[in-house]
Amino acid sequence: MTNPQIHTQNGGAWREYPKTTVPDALQSAIGGHPLVAQTLTRRGITDVDAARAFLDPDYHIPASPSELPGLTHAADLIESAIATGEHILVWGDFDVDGQTSTTLLVEALKELGAQVSYHIPLRATEGHGIKVEVLDKLISAPPTSNFPLPTVLLTCDTGIAAHEAVNFAKKCGLIVVITDHHDLPPELPDADAIINSKMAPDGHPLSTLPGVGVAYKLIEELYARTGDSHF
């Protein structure tokens, strides 16, 4: 990617990109539009095939979910939980990434036949992460038809540093599967399976996925195992 020169004046700032040389083949492949060609070149996309994959989903070949470390094992656990009628509690977050992750997991797992419920922390009283006291209430409350006792804790956009909560859940007999994208702590929690985009090698196309992207790849794998071409 071409780095711009930053100019500042009177408290403001603007970026000035150096002139770029656009390959003729790239210019032709994208229909000759100079602004699009320059933008792609500045982003380091100068190969015709790479440019087509970037601009046209018909040319894009997505990375396999199995390329995310830990995903295959996590999918095994969730697939087994669905087959045996376990109740899966999806624990998300209150921001956009957390809410979209939660929605994706809950709706897709229901389509796959899972018993599933969810919890999104209240920002004002819980904040980010998994609070043990809240988790304790959810897994120890009298079961109802709408909320049977969870036996699987599936996180999204959170959990990678939740050592205390994971240990508590495991002590209570829950299977814990973490899906997250935040920076890895020095020591990972003792979950049954962990998927985190930052566990992928540097430069891998999946290494920069947000929380909802990680959740998506898990669901993509689960659908593929059913032979469903949803994804």
Q: How confident is the model at residue 46 (pLDDT cuts 50, 70, 90)?
A: confident
Distances (CA, A) of 21 to 4, 39, 53: 15, 11, 21
Model confidence at 147: pLDDT above 70: no
Q: Regarding predicted confidence, which is higher, 76 or 47?
A: 76
What is the structure's pLDDT at 98?
Answer: 96
- Do the Cβ atoms of 109 and 74 come closer than 8 Å? no
pLDDT of 208 strictly over 60: yes
Q: Report pTM.
A: 0.81
Which of 29-33, 82-86, 116-120, 226-230 shows the lowest mean pLDDT across its residues?
226-230
pLDDT in tens, 149-174: 899 999 999 999 999 999 999 999 99
- Range 212-217 average pLDDT: 98
HSE-CB of 65 using CA atoms within 13 angstroms:
22
Q: Specify which residues 5 forms β-bridges with.
A: 16
Tokens 């891998």, located at residue: 204
pLDDT at 36: 87
Q: Are strands 152-156 and 175-180 parallel, antiparallel or unpaired?
A: parallel
